[in-house]
Structure 1
Amino acid sequence: MTATSTGSGGTGPKRPADRLILRGYGPLAALIVVLLLLTMLVPSRPKDDELTQFTDNTGFSAPETTTGQPGAPVGTTPTGTAPLDTGAPAAPGVTPAKGGKPVTTNSAVGAAPATNCSGGAKQDGNTAYSPACVAWAGGDNGGATARGVTKDTITVTFRDIGNPLGDSDSELAKTAEEKGIIASPEATERTRAALLEYFNRTFQLYGRKVKIETYKGRGDAIKELGGTGQESANADALKVGQEIKAFADMTAISQPYLDALVRQKVVAFGGLHLPASYYSARAPYAWGQLVDCTALLDSAVDLLTKRLPPSGNANRAGSAALRQKPRKYGLVIPDDAVYAQCIKEAGPKLAAAGITITKEIRYSLEIAKLQQETPNMAAQLKGAGVTTVLLVTDPILPFFLSGSATQQDFWPEWFVTGTVLTDADVAGQFYDQDQWQNAYGQSYLSDIRQGKASESYRAYKAIRPQDEPTLTRDLDYYSLLMLFIGLQGAGPNLNPQTFQRGMFAYPGASGPLGHWSWGPNDYTAIDDAREIYYDRRALSAFNNQPGRYISVSGERRYRGSWPAKDPGAPVPTAAAP
């Protein structure tokens, strides 16, 4: 890699897309904060004509799943309907039920036996990710086995840091509502409460129920995502740990807040592609919904080597001239020690593939500077003869960089590694479309169109059949599902250590969000990715707006290693000579 450069310098003329962000970077940053809250994003727009897969006589039936080894596709079969026995090990003090029948054991002493599980041999017939059905005879569950745990309840917090979009009547808020990525606080709370009730009814918590406490935080999401705001994050974590005395928090998206919660020994869900070593060093408290950057970059380098290799010309570039030139790679990453560690770990694999980084640019995570710095970044990349830009960035940087590239008449191949929702349709729709039609890469998000057949929709309607959930319900649904898998696996003696044991005991399963598993050195949920390109004209399944990342191989997803054969994604017409 070459010596690091930091983008700086002048500004270019405004382009029409700037109207989308009103007065500069701020509103877009706010919108992206909302996007970041959708860390478990799957298409969820209700449509009557969408695929319905679950039709057995219980009302629920998970699709057949297949689990592949690294390098093999793993995913959901489109037509399977038989419920499966996942073979999950029993939690301490309990026994897996046979066909949903209650089973008592000598170590599970209690009054009433468990009821039949909704999925037969599976605890929850609604989800492909269900662990095995577990029965508990009742009795003494140990009571207050950890902070935030009593014999009856498990306290979990959600941090409310206000609406980053500001006034609900603002142009940006209206735009976000049109795109389906915000909901009123009342609707959000109603949806979350219904999903919580569903999980409390369905999963085995050994006499306890989860209760959610939503508190008003002092933190600033935009500052924290930029690497600052630690003092306020510390104050919020102190409130969670010492005042509310919660067992877990579900909103640790920023690293400052996640770090602060870990220091308080609160089980925390969040983090944006932190290294595997980060989570391991903070075990058993830190968990992530998004894949760690160690696995992400291993996968990205393998795909880059096989689809955009150094031996070929840049045939996916946006200009006819660049398409005739041998590939030269540029890398754009945040100037941050955590992400630098990820790149360092990926270095040997890049070198082994014969990939040399001609120009590396590290940029400040201070959002206010991006609009001023990206013209110079584009100029540096162009001046170095880069044909292929590797993006390991936040979702805001490509908005400014793609526009600056157009201003500089620079039309490279854009390689999307799938970091922090840069691979989400809604983010891609904000980028310069003439540039982004050349984007190619990988995504750990899902492209399955489910609508009313989605797990989250069915779970909500099981509790509240009379009204509709929010379109953003999947954030809460999949985060809570992760939590309840660990709580059930922990057994009656719940504490952070047994929670980790329960997560590690989960055997893994494939479903709408790809393959899930946890284990030593793996504290994040999604294991596999899909190969994608961006189609500016295709309608997104999320908001029905133009601009969508298309899966090259349908529903197939891969873990760690990609097929050598190129599936042949279409190449758009060059936008420039």
Structure 2
Amino acid sequence: MTRDTIRVTVWTPLEGFDRLLDMFATHFNNRFQFYGRKLVLSHHPLGWFGDTASDVTRAVEMDETDKSFAGVTPPGQSRFYKEVARRHLILTMVSWVTNVVHTEKELAKWHPYTWQYTMAGDRYLSNIGEWICKRIAGKRAKYARSPLNSQKRRFAVHLQKTPFAGESAGTGSLRAALSRCGATPKRTSVNDSGGGFAGSFTEAQADTEITRMRRAKVNSVICICPWYEESMLTNAANRAGYVPEWITTAHHPPWSGVPASFPSPNGDRRFGLLPNPMHVPLQREPGFQALRDAGGRATGADMTVWAGTGHDAHTALRMYRQMLLLASGIQMAGPKLNPQTFGAGLQRTRFPNPPDPRRPGKVGFIDGDHSMINDAAQVYWDRKTRGHYVDESGGTTCFLERGKRYKLGRWGKARGAFFTRPPCFNGSV
């Protein structure tokens, strides 16, 4: 960092995104108060997170090669955060394939260096537990198929432990919340990937787990796992002719190929809570509007860098939110920018959160925490409603109560029902 620049390392997930991220930086430079400095990005290909050598290499890239103040990254492993904190650098993260990312305990351990846009994993699971207790526990599993839908809900919990989904998340906060209403899971299973990612859960394992759930007379499955592992379980349930409800914690990426991973009938029974902002048409997304703002100010800026496909749009929006968190901390730190003033600035700020029909979620670092989103919306998957992007042809995420959001302690009685007749409300505001 110099008197004029704040260098930021970004690991770019898609080819051609360098220009797009530079446009985000232009937007924040124009609209935020950085006290005479400008964000300058150093780009690196995303590659692979997950082994000691790459973790150390990335920290060295930030510190010694780029001489950065901060980095924008997908979730990684504790040894990466430890090395970054040792070098006194800032990291901002957002969830990618699951909503269950690092816990507040993990983030606090690296204070003031590590921050995430997505709700902390333990708080998200506490929300799910309270929502279940207040709205669906003790009632019939009506979204399962007969004969399971005539019985009161009997829950199973399946957890995939990966270094990208919170190393200490476990099921503790969820089980504690469920115990308050007597909704103790009848079956709990853990797939410890041991540092792996996709491919760490086999078809045979999925078949075995479905058999065990069935023996336990489970009719409502809480899957704390990325979408690809949830897909393997729902496909195994299809093979077994077993059709419970699926309470999902995964993102529902809209891009081509993902909906086909969830064939009927089990693929049509997924619902749950989404802590990230509601999906809205591309032109109404704050990230897209930031690009338009930058394009109006930067000579020759090319808006075609973001084609509007589901894959590109969701990836771009995640990175915009990470950069928004970073820009907020830099502005609130004041002219004497360092990791300590960055953290103190975020945690003392009370964000205004004005009413917004796009339902982006209330943000702020409540009670000195390290994650930005504080509430969630109820969602379900509908195969017959078209989404917002050109490759979103196999269905879309639908929002109950038109995307109304609730925070922990505010989940009251249920309003509305999942899986209503299409077209559902998909965020077209």
TM-score by length of 2: 0.84
TM-superposition CA deviations, 1:179-202 (whole Å, max 9, x none): xxxx6x23x122111221121122
How far residue 531 of structure 1 moved from its aligned partner, in angstroms, is 1.0
Per the alignment, in what secondary structure is the counterpart of residue 112 of structure 2? coil
The reply on whether 1:454 has 2:282 as its aligned counterpart is: no
Structure 2 match to 1:156: 8
* Aligned pair partner of 1:402 in 227, 234, 238: 234
The reply on whether 1:246 has 2:72 as its aligned counterpart is: no
1:364/1:565 CA distance change after superposition, 3 Å: closer
Structure 2 match to 1:567: 416
Unmatched runs of 5 consecutive residues or more in structure 1: 1-148, 164-182, 573-577
Distance 2:404 2:168 in 1: 31
Larger radius of gyration between Structure 1 and Structure 2: 1
How far residue 492 of structure 1 moved from its aligned partner, in angstroms, is 0.7
How far residue 436 of structure 1 moved from its aligned partner, in angstroms, is 2.1
TM-superposition CA deviations, 1:540-567 (whole Å, max 9, x none): 2244423112111003111113221332
How far residue 524 of structure 1 moved from its aligned partner, in angstroms, is 1.2
TM-superposition CA deviations, 1:201-238 (whole Å, max 9, x none): 22111111111111357x524xx2xxxx1222112212
Alpha carbons 2:94, 2:321 under 8 Å: kept: no
Say how many residue pairs are matched. 389
Distance 2:369 2:260 in 1: 32
Alpha carbons 2:69, 2:89 under 8 Å: kept: yes
Distance 2:419 2:74 in 1: 39
Distance 2:152 2:109 in 1: 42
* Aligned AA (2:414): K
* Aligned AA (1:263): R
Structure 1 match to 2:150: 324
Structure 2 match to 1:549: 397
Quote the sequence identity (%): 19
Higher deviation after alignment, 493-502 or 527-536: 527-536
Alpha carbons 1:280, 1:521 under 8 Å: kept: no
Structure 2 match to 1:264: 87
TM-superposition CA deviations, 1:247-305 (whole Å, max 9, x none): 10001422253443233321011265211111111110010121101210111011112
How far residue 339 of structure 1 moved from its aligned partner, in angstroms, is 5.3
How far residue 520 of structure 1 moved from its aligned partner, in angstroms, is 4.1
Structure 2 match to 1:62: none
Distance 2:243 2:346 in 1: 45
Structure 1 match to 2:59: 237
Higher deviation after alignment, 247-256 or 332-341: 332-341
Distance 2:383 2:291 in 1: 33
Alpha carbons 1:442, 1:529 under 8 Å: kept: yes
Distance 1:425 1:544 in 2: 5
Alpha carbons 1:534, 1:549 under 8 Å: kept: yes
Structure 2 match to 1:390: 222
Alpha carbons 2:33, 2:331 under 8 Å: kept: yes
Residues 187-198 of structure 1 aligned to structure 2 (within 5 Å) = 188-198=17-27
Structure 2 match to 1:286: 114
Unmatched runs of 5 consecutive residues or more in structure 2: 96-100, 422-429
1:483/1:340 CA distance change after superposition, 3 Å: closer
Whose helix fraction is larger, Structure 1's or Structure 2's?
2
* Aligned pair partner of 1:508 in 318, 340, 351: 351
* Aligned pair partner of 1:499 in 333, 342, 350: 342
* Aligned pair partner of 2:188 in 357, 360, 364: 360
Distance 2:293 2:161 in 1: 47
1:193/1:150 CA distance change after superposition, 3 Å: same
The reply on whether 1:490 has 2:312 as its aligned counterpart is: no
Residues 434-473 of structure 1 aligned to structure 2 (within 5 Å) = 434-465=265-296, 467-468=302-303, 469-470=305-306, 471=308, 472=313, 473=316
Per the alignment, in what secondary structure is the counterpart of residue 347 of structure 1? helix
TM-superposition CA deviations, 1:323-366 (whole Å, max 9, x none): 12232111100246955544223333211110111111111324
Per the alignment, in what secondary structure is the counterpart of residue 291 of structure 1? coil
Distance 2:27 2:176 in 1: 47
Higher deviation after alignment, 247-256 or 522-531: 247-256
Structure ranking higher on relative contact order (CA contacts 8 Å, 6+ apart): 1
Distance 2:398 2:260 in 1: 13
Structure 1 match to 2:424: none
1:504/1:521 CA distance change after superposition, 3 Å: closer
Query: How large is the Cα RMSD of the aligned pairs?
Result: 2.3
How far residue 406 of structure 1 moved from its aligned partner, in angstroms, is 0.4
Distance 1:210 1:397 in 2: 38
Distance 1:353 1:518 in 2: 29
Distance 1:355 1:453 in 2: 40
TM-score by length of 1: 0.63
Alpha carbons 1:316, 1:571 under 8 Å: kept: no
Structure 2 match to 1:412: 244
